[in-house]
Structure 1
Amino acid sequence: MARGQKKQYVKKLTTKDEEMLRAFRNCGRLSSKHLKSELTMADKRVLNFQRDGYLEHGRLLNPKTREMESVFQLTDKGRGLVDAQLNLSHFYKSVGGRHDLAVADKYFSLNQEEQHSWRTEGELREVFQARLEELGGTYQAKEVSATDGAYVARDGRTILFEVVTRNYGKAEIQAKENFATLLGLELEISKT
């Protein structure tokens, strides 16, 4: 290795790596529990992604246990890796730690086929825009708001999913409901 050149720790992506990166793209942040229990990622492998600058680590207070928990998210370099290696864009736009982890909890409650059907808020905005053009209509930004995600359930129904925190007012929730109505899809709301 040439002098001053950094060692690369992640040389080839495994299937588990790809599932982890897909989950980060769809959820924003993941906890250590998600990485270990849901994705069975080894601590050393996660550390290698950090060392290569693909992931950053943070800590978040768990309000139930009153303890700090480790959370991870993609860096710009990590998003570049996902785009280049998995051809995925439209990354989930992080709202906040607790909110993102609630999205991740829902994501990991789905089977793998449902996870692979997951669409992010950015993708849903594009679907809505196309639908709006078909209908020849316009809406005020505050009247309609895309949900956190959507997935195709086992029975073939597309389900929109939204995490609602105590900071959401009636108008924000109504905008999510309007979005579902205009697309003709079912809306599942999770309150945190």
Structure 2
Amino acid sequence: LESTEIYNLTVGIIGAGHIGGATAQLYSALGAKVIAVDPIHRVELSPYLEYTDLDTLLKTADIVTVHTPLDESTANLFNSETFKKMKNTAYLINMARGGIVSAADLIAALQNKEIAGAALDTLANEGQFFEKQATPEEIPEDYKTLRAMPNVLISPHSAFYTDTAMKNMVAMGLDDVVAIVNGKRPQFEVYK
């Protein structure tokens, strides 16, 4: 199969925080043009990306990769309208939260060839079947449909699960406990 090289592509990053910023640096190092949407424009990322608006990103990106929290503004951000704005040759990568992508609308966009494919490290309600040995009846139909598609890759949101990451989580948690006990604000707050 003939493919294209990363340096010929435009990569759109939604959420250019720590992970999105590191992603921008990697794609930039491979020669891609990187554009991003984020409410905070980080000057230190200017060598690696150019900030733009969401519509421009969706219309021009060959790869759209999502690295944003799930909140009211991002819930079902990727829906039928969003997919129609993307190139029909574009790929969606969601490594953030499952609720950012409407699974039903993604399936329709893939079936209607509105986008070329998707790589999903997370799905809505994934905890109901990824975290245990689910029976076939417990696996949602949208997951079964996506998994059967030749242009979809799904992983079980486990990229964080390494020896180093686990040690870091424990250390960060303990450091924050010490900070709170000493009347200081924790460095690694968790937001709902």
The TM-score with structure 1 as length reference comes to 0.28
Structure with the larger helix share: 1
The TM-score with structure 2 as length reference comes to 0.28
Structure with the larger strand share: 1
Q: Which protein has greater RCO, CA pairs closer than 8 Å, 6+ apart?
A: 1
